[in-house]
Amino acid sequence: TLRRKRKLNSRRRRLPPGPPSLPFIGHLHEFIGELPQFTLRKLSYKYGPLIHVKLGQVSTIIASSPETAAEILKTQDIVFCGRPFFASTDRFSYGGLDIAFTPYNDHWRRIRRFTNAEVFSAARVQAFKAIREEEVGALLKTISSASANGEAFNLTTMLLCLFNNLIYRLVFGKRISAVAGDCGRTQHHEMIMEAVAFTTELCVGDFFPSLAWLDGLTGWRGRLEKIFHTMDRVFEREIEERMKRRRCQEEKKSSTGEDTINEDVCFLDILLKSQEEMDDSLGLLLTRNVIKAVVMDMFLAGTDSPAIIMEWAMAELIKNPKSMRKAQEEVRRVVKGKGKVEEEDLQHLPYLHNVFKETLRLHPSGPLLLPRESTKDTKINGYDIPAKTRIFVNAWALARDPNSWGEDAETFQPERFDKCGGVDFKGHHLELIPFGAGRRTCPGMAFGVAGVELALANVLYGFDWELPSGVNREEMDMTESFRMVSHKKVPIIVVATPVTDFT
Ligand code: HEM
């Protein structure tokens, strides 16, 4: 019968090697008390660059060498570009209507093609330059006033606020913080962080699909619904407001001839315009839920990751004063005499760019990227990978592999990129893939890079940075938080001394 045939087939399968597993929980015990990327690297030392583990009931493959990563992200990208089902991401994607969490299907291909061309294009990145400069300006003012009395403050919160405001303006065309120029914590900020936490902390059903009903009993599902509906209400409110604005602009145009429709265009306008025009190539693609799902992606993928990179860049520079001095000398020499760094200046700051790359290398915001899923049975290195297997690429381990980076792979040395200058982070070199690679690579990379580099250059230009008195640089806590995205476990508390007047 079919069942016997399946059982026989699964016995004949030659899965990649892995440690012995326990009944029921599989290999989950291996992950207790240690970050998953650490555990998986350790297992790869023992069992090789392609391993198989069972996370609860779920068969999972992990690639940890440039060659095995290339099989997944390049050679067989088309087979491995599915996304597994998780209860939280399914909800946040409005049932698979977004870009990030949707399985590989016709909808994903169309929405990805559309947003690549209309939302994430180089022209759009350029068009939103003024917004980045204004928001970075707001950050500088907030740092200025926080440091007025020489007191220590929480830089991590301010960075999250910067990127949260930035995305809010890109998406909805306005700031979240009511006070112009303010960069403090807001309710929206808390909401995004809670939602990000949901997408990165898995529930019982994600490991034990047959026990998914338990998530209803533990209250997990109730909390998920609550945060989802809070976000959905914000999106509904902003969409209604923006549609009203567009109607007013249309009326103005027909009564007075004055055309303001193309002023202050935000992502939502682009989506609404395409929806109104019912573009034939898109058909009924842009329903209200699809628009909300794409907006959700912007917040979940676009706020936390840039903030994490900027947070680690500052932490590494404070911990490594030589690199800090070098970066500050460069930016102060190049930008000399100006009030602040502008985007055009960034191309003249090669050391700053190296600092950025080195931070991405040591601290990718997603150490295991986003999980993928095989869409059909296939083989890697002669091993069988059945359809619907969960796949991780340990990007964190690849970027710290001494075989690729030398014996000093674990230390922060931006200069290394002078020697291997050709290595970029755009998905061509698998030893450095903080944005992923292949079909599912991050479409917001150019937005992320532009925002982080501008903010970093400006805070280095405008302030000198120190730890609060009594805190030793050598003892600075550089541990990563225990989540699928790797914030610093403890926030950066610093003292800043202004060297330029931003008030
Ligand atoms: C420094 C900042 C950023 C980093 C390090 C980063 C990193 C990543 C990574 C690792 C992935 C998964 C790639 C894979 O599965 O192979 C991803 C996907 C994605 N990112 Fe980013 N990201 C950043 C900024 C942004 C921004 C600013 C946006 C939006 C405005 C964005 C939108 C997305 C989306 C929509 C996806 C899903 C792509 C898909 O599944 O087709 N990201 N990002």
CB atoms within 10 A of CB 320: 19
Give the pLDDT of residue 275: 81
Q: Which numbered atom of ligand 1 lies nearest the CA of 447?
A: 27
**Residue recorded with tokens 């020697």:** 419
- What domains lie within the chain, and their CATH numbers? 2-498 (1.10.630.10)
Asked if residue 16 lies in contact with residue 61, where contact means CB atoms within 8 angstroms, the answer is yes
pLDDT of residue 51: 97
Per-residue confidence (pLDDT) for residue 282, from 0 to 100: 60
Cβ pair 375, 387 in contact under 8 A: yes
Classify strands 390-393 and 58-63 as parallel, antiparallel or unpaired.
parallel
What is the per-residue DSSP string for 451-474? Answer: HHHHHHHHHHHHEEEEPPTT--ST
Q: Which residues pair with 53 in a beta bridge?
A: 60
- CB-based pocket (< 6 A), ligand 1: 99-100, 112, 297-298, 301-302, 305-306, 309, 365-366, 369-370, 434-436, 440-444, 447-448, 452
CB 144 within 8 A of CB 503: yes
Which of 305, 365, 430, 433 for a ligand 1 pocket mutation test, highest count of atoms within 8 Å of Cβ?
305
Q: Which of 452, 427, 490 is nearest to 307 (CA)?
A: 452
Q: How many CB atoms lie within 10 A of CB 105?
A: 11
ipTM of this predicted structure: 0.99
Which atom of ligand 1 approaches the CA of 98 most closely?
35
N-to-C CA span, the chain: 77
Spacing, Cα 445 to ligand 1 middle (Å) = 7
Report d(CA 171, CA 235) in Å as an integer.
Answer: 10
Residue-level pLDDT at 196: 80
* Nearest C-alpha neighbor of 85 from the set 112, 103, 100, 104: 103
> How far away, in angstroms, is 327 Cα from ligand 1 center?
27
CB count, 10 Å around CB of 294?
24
What pLDDT shows up at residue 192?
Answer: 82
Q: What distance in angstroms lies between residue 294's CA and the mean position of ligand 1's atoms?
A: 12
Two tokens at 350? Answer: 């090669």
Measured distance CA(498)–CA(318) in Å, rounded: 16
Q: What residues does 59 pair with on adjacent strands?
A: 54
Q: Which tokens hold the place of 3? A: 């069942």
Token pair of 439, please? 């079909």
- List Cα–Cα distances, 320 to 179, 211, 413, in angstroms: 35, 48, 9
CA geometry: angle at 157 spanning 201 and 233, to 5°? 60
Helix (H, G, I), strand (E, B) or coil at 118: helix
The annotation status of 248 as a binding-site residue, yes or no, is: no
Q: Is 129 left (phi over 0), alpha (psi -120 to 50) or beta?
A: alpha
Residue-level pLDDT at 358: 98
7 Cα: distance to centroid of ligand 1 (angstroms) = 38
Please answer whether residues 183 and 138 qualify as being in contact, where contact means their C-beta atoms are separated by less than 8 angstroms: yes
Segment-wise mean pLDDT, segments of 10 residues, the chain, 503 residues: 62 89 90 89 97 94 97 98 94 96 94 93 95 94 89 92 91 77 71 81 82 85 93 94 90 85 86 77 76 95 93 97 98 94 97 98 95 97 97 97 96 92 89 97 97 98 94 88 77 92 58
